[in-house]
């Protein structure tokens, strides 16, 4: 069996940040990712991020990704790509299948799970037709793979993902025919909704998608107004000429690995559903296992990076790598940056939900 | 449906060598290293497989290897996730019917 | 299009702020008609955690303050209309305006991240916050400096009878 001090699972914004922080602290880190390229979903974020200078605000996600990879290179962090983690045993042993052919067990003193999240779906007649896809899938196609999955798009959901991807579809040359939102008010930041609105994209609040039609691919979508009990109002149906329907209905944390390893779960609907319990240092109920990013509750890339830094620093500290005082200063600074990201009208709910998790004690 | 040639943030589509793939018996071109799903979307392929019982068409859904909606038979191996599997020169890609059939011994 | 008729129900329904919402926000300050210099106009009325406008401004004319969710406020006495904030704003919520550029023409400089870009001298269609077609405009120049990180800033003139209404241009068709 191979041995490493810290194994980080997932090389997205959270995992990369965790690996960097742990390595900077002096720990020997192995970063594994099932994909052939690191970065997770960061390289499809082509917009400039919000936040402050400390959060690299104003820099595009793709460029933050490049910076993180350069830092990982400079620190000579060991990275295994095409490496799928199939299980964690005895709270320490990480079972990894490399390149779909070689099974390897790595004994880790600390494990940081940063597996991210998966997009939710919305079920309606025709939802399985080709052309119906996650908003993030469309974003992957246009920004990573440079192919347009369709020319005429209906976006379902007006949260930040829905409006940002709508904007990026316009940038890629598609026409976004409408954005429907089931709630009576739009979900995303006003600055995002305003920029797609002035580009001519109409919003329909209190509307949902009723049906997708087509033979081998989406050829039209029917939207309908819904009442305050979320029931369709007959007679308000509209048929839209679209070839693509993007679903932006939130994400669910990818918790399987953590739960199979024995991390205690708890339910936090605001953060995406079941998440592993964790404390402020991002440690789960199993002392050797930490989590960071969307697995610990769905937020944003910027919060994922902060959580990664906190998890990496805490894991290294628990191995004796960071002097107490240095740890306290570093941790406080990360907490302050995190508070700023979770402040205001939009952040307050997430801040409360996170506080509710940490108020419980486990382990 | 089409490649994005010009992009305001990403710039012009970089030049990369093309490789040959065979899709349902037809030779086609793909960009070296791109995912199978991307290559097929660029050619306008509408569906990637049909379901076993009701023969409904399926395409990409999550695009990041989680949902397995986009699986096809690749080089004789069924249920390959096309959204995270890169093309290779000479690769044989087939629209999958149902669970597919193994045509290659591993 | 039926969708883009006067659907002015405000930011959280129509997607764009209406004038009542803007006028009620301390963030939004339309430069006075007799002001000679360009000035930054910010339409960021929700208190989101973001401050690159403040850190980017070389004149220290935009203040967010210690609380990152404060609304950004432009000090019009300090703002010299340099336009660095226009491309620095991750929300593309800032433009420059001036009521009288010459005769009856207003001046605007707005962020634009689509292809193709307009060119100097081109006649473009100006739009309001709802994306509705308002009037013709003429492109004065298109700024594409490296510092702006791929956000072009389009400078244009348009009839100042539409001074407050116009915020951007209609996207150009790809060929």
Confidence at residue B1, expressed as pLDDT on a 0 to 100 scale: 66
**CATH 3.50.50.60, domain A1-116+249-357, yes or no:** yes
| Distance, CA of A296 to CA of A358 (rounded, Å) | 11
Rounded distance between C-alpha atoms, residue A217 and residue A103, angstroms = 39
Q: What percent of chain A has pLDDT over 90?
A: 93
Q: Give the residue extent of every domain in chain A.
A: 1-116+249-357, 121-247
Closest listed residue to residue A136, CA positions, set C90, C92, B83, B45: B83
Instruction: Output the CA angle A70-A76-A81, nearest 5 degrees.
Output: 80
pLDDT (tens digit per residue) in C78-127:
999 999 999 999 999 999 999 999 999 999 999 999 999 999 999 999 99
For the beta carbon of residue C172, count every other beta carbon within 10 angstroms: 16
Task: Give the percent of chain C with pLDDT over 90.
Answer: 93
**Structural domain boundaries enclosing B53:** 17-97
| Of the options 3.50.50.60, 3.40.50.1370, 3.40.50.300, 2.60.40.10, the CATH number for the domain spanning A121-247 | 3.50.50.60
Residue A96: both structure tokens together: 């990894």
Mean pLDDT on B12-23: 97
Tokens of residue A79, six digits: 């990275």
A130 closest CB neighbour out of B35, B46, B62: B46
Q: Which pLDDT belongs to residue C5?
A: 44
**DSSP letter assigned to residue A138:** H
Instruction: Compute the nearest-CA separation of A42 from chain B (Å).
Output: 13
Confidence of residue C4 (pLDDT cuts 50, 70, 90): very low
Domains A1-116+249-357 and A121-247 share a fold: yes
Chains that touch B (3 or more CB pairs under 8 A): A, C
| Residues of B engaging C, defined by a Cβ cutoff of 8 Å | 6-9
Closest by CA position to C16, among listed C7, C26, C3, C25? C7
Query: Distance from B38 to chain C by nearest Cα, in Å?
Result: 22
Q: Is residue B59 part of a domain?
A: yes
Q: Is B8 close to C150, i.e. CB distance below 8 A?
A: yes
Contact (CB<8Å) B6/C174: yes
Distance from the Cα of A223 to chain B's closest Cα (Å) equals 20
- Hey, of A45, A194, A341, A351, which one would you mutate to test binding to chain C, going by the most C CBs within 10 A of its CB? A194
Query: CA nearest C67 in A: which residue?
Result: A340
Per the prediction, chain A carries an average pLDDT of 96
Q: What is the pTM of this model?
A: 0.96
| C-alpha closest to that of A249 among A341, A126, A127 | A127
In C77-132, the DSSP E strands lie at: 94-102, 105-112, 123-127
User: Cβ of A171 and B8 within 8 Å?
Assistant: yes
Rounded to 5°, angle at Cα A87 from A83 and A88: 110
Range from A316-325, C4-13, C61-70 carrying the lowest mean pLDDT: C4-13
Dist CA A21 CA A300 (whole Å): 19
Asked if the model's pLDDT at residue B103 lies above 90, the reply is no
CATH no. for residue B36? 3.10.20.440
B10: chain A residues, CB-CB within 8 Å: 46, 143, 146
Size of interface B-C (CB pairs under 8 A): 12
| A contact residues 99-158, partner B, Cβ 8 Å cutoff | 118-119, 121, 128-134, 136-138, 140-143, 145-151
φ, ψ dihedrals at A294, nearest 5°: -60, -25
pLDDT digits (tens, 9 = 90+) for A40-85: 999 999 999 998 888 889 999 999 999 999 999 999 999 999 999 9
Is the Cβ pair A52, C55 closer than 8 Å?
Answer: yes
Residues B41-60: pLDDT tens digits? 999 999 999 999 999 999 99
- CB contacts < 8 Å between A and B, how many? 102
Does residue C2 register a pLDDT over 90? Answer: no
Backbone angle region of A22, left / alpha / beta, with phi > 0 → left and psi within -120 to 50 → alpha: alpha
Q: Both tokens of residue A224?
A: 């309908």
Please check whether residue B24 lies inside any domain of the structure. yes
Tell me: the pLDDT tens digits for A251-298?
A: 999 999 999 999 999 999 999 999 999 999 999 999 999 999 999 999
From chain A, pick out residues whose CB is under 8 angstroms from the CB of C114: 170-171
Q: Which residues contact A158 (CB under 8 A, 6 or more apart)?
A: A179, A180, A181, A183, A186, A187, A188, A193, A203, A205, A248, C15
The alpha carbon of residue B20 is apart from the nearest alpha carbon of chain A, in Å, by: 18
| Of B1, B38, B56, Cβ closest to residue A150 | B1
- Chain C partners of B7 at a C-beta cutoff of 8 Å? 115
Longest Cα separation, chain B:
46
Q: Are B19 and B34 in contact (CB under 8 A)?
A: no
Q: Tell me what pLDDT residue A344 has.
A: 83
- Asked whether residue B12 is assigned to any structural domain, the reply reads no
C167 sits in the region (left: phi over 0; alpha: psi -120 to 50; else beta) called alpha
Residues of chain A with C-beta less than 8 angstroms from the C-beta of C131: 197-201
B8 and C113 within 8 Å at the Cβ level: the answer is: yes
The nearest alpha carbon in chain B to C112 belongs to B8
Contact A51 C50 (CB under 8 A): yes
Output the six-digit token pair for C22: 């803007």
Q: Is residue A346 pLDDT above 90, yes or no?
A: no
Q: How far away is chain B from the Cα of A124, in angstroms, using its nearest Cα? A: 14
Q: How far apart are CA A204 and CA A207, in angstroms?
A: 6
pLDDT of residue A345: 78
Tally of domains within chain B: 1
Q: Across the interface, do A57 and C52 touch by the CB < 8 Å criterion?
A: yes
**What is the pLDDT at residue C3?**
41
């Amino acid at each position: 069996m191979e041995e490493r001090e810290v194994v980080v699972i997932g090389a997205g914004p959270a995992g990369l940040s965790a690996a960097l922080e742990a390595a900077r602290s002096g720990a020997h880190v192995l970063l594994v990712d099932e994909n052939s390229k690191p970065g997770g979903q960061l390289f499809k974020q082509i917009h400039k991020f919000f936040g402050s200078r400390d959060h690299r605000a104003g820099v595009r996600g793709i460029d933050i990704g490049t910076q993180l990879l350069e830092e990982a290179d400079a620190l000579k962090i060991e990275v295994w790509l095409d490496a799928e983690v199939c299980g964690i045993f005895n709270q320490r042993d990480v079972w990894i299948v490399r390149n779909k052919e070689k099974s390897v067990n790595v004994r880790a003193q600390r494990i940081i799970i940063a597996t991210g999240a998966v997009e939710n779906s919305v079920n309606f007649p025709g939802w399985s037709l080709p052309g119906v896809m996650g908003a993030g899938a469309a974003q992957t196609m246009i920004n990573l793979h440079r192919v347009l999955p369709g020319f005429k798009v209906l976006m379902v959901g007006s949260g930040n993902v829905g409006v940002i991807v709508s904007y990026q579809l316009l940038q890629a040359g598609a026409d976004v025919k409408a954005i429907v939102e089931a709630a009576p008010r739009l979900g995303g930041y006003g600055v995002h909704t305003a920029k797609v609105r002035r580009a001519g994209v109409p919003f329909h609040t209190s509307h949902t998608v009723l049906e997708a039609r087509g033979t081998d691919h989406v050829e039209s979508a029917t939207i309908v107004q819904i009442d305050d009990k979320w029931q369709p109002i007959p007679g308000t149906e509209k048929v839209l000429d679209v070839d693509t329907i993007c679903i932006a209905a939130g994400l669910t944390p990818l918790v399987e690995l953590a739960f199979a390893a024995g991390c205690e779960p708890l339910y936090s609907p605001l953060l995406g559903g079941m998440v592993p319990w964790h404390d402020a240092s991002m440690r789960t109920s199993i002392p050797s296992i930490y989590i960071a990013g969307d697995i610990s509750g769905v937020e944003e890339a910027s919060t994922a990076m902060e959580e990664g830094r906190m998890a990496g620093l805490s894991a290294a500290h628990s191995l004796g790598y960071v002097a107490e005082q240095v740890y306290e200063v570093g941790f406080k600074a990360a907490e302050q940056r995190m508070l700023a990201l979770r402040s205001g009208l939009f952040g307050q709910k997430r801040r409360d939900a996170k506080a509710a998790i940490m108020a419980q004690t486990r382990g | 449906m089409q490649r994005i040639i010009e992009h305001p943030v990403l710039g012009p589509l970089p030049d990369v060598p093309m490789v040959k793939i065979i899709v349902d018996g037809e030779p086609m071109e793909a960009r070296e290293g791109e995912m199978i799903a991307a290559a097929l979307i660029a050619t306008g392929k509408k569906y990637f497989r049909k379901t076993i019982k009701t023969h409904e068409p399926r395409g990409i859904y999550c695009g990041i290897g989680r949902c397995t909606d986009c699986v096809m038979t690749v080089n004789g191996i069924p249920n390959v996730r096309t959204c995270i599997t890169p093309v290779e020169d000479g690769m044989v890609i087939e629209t999958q019917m149902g669970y597919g059939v193994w045509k290659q011994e591993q | 299009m039926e969708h883009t008729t006067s659907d002015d129900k405000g930011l959280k329904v129509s997607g764009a702020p209406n004038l009542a919402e803007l006028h009620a926000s301390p963030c939004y300050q339309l430069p006075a008609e007799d002001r000679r210099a360009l000035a930054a106009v910010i339409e960021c009325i929700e208190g989101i955690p973001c401050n690159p406008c403040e850190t980017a401004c070389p004149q220290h004319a935009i203040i967010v303050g210690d609380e990152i969710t404060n609304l950004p406020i432009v000090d019009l006495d300090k703002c010299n209309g340099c336009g660095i904030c226009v491309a620095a704003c991750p929300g593309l919520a800032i433009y420059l305006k001036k009521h009288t550029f010459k005769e009856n023409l207003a001046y605007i400089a707005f962020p634009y991240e689509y292809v193709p870009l307009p060119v100097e001298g081109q006649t473009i269609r100006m739009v309001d916050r709802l994306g509705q077609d308002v009037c013709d405009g003429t492109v004065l120049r298109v700024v594409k400096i490296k510092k702006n990180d791929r956000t072009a800033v389009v400078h244009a003139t348009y009839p100042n009878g539409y001074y407050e209404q116009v915020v951007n241009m209609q996207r150009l068709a790809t060929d």
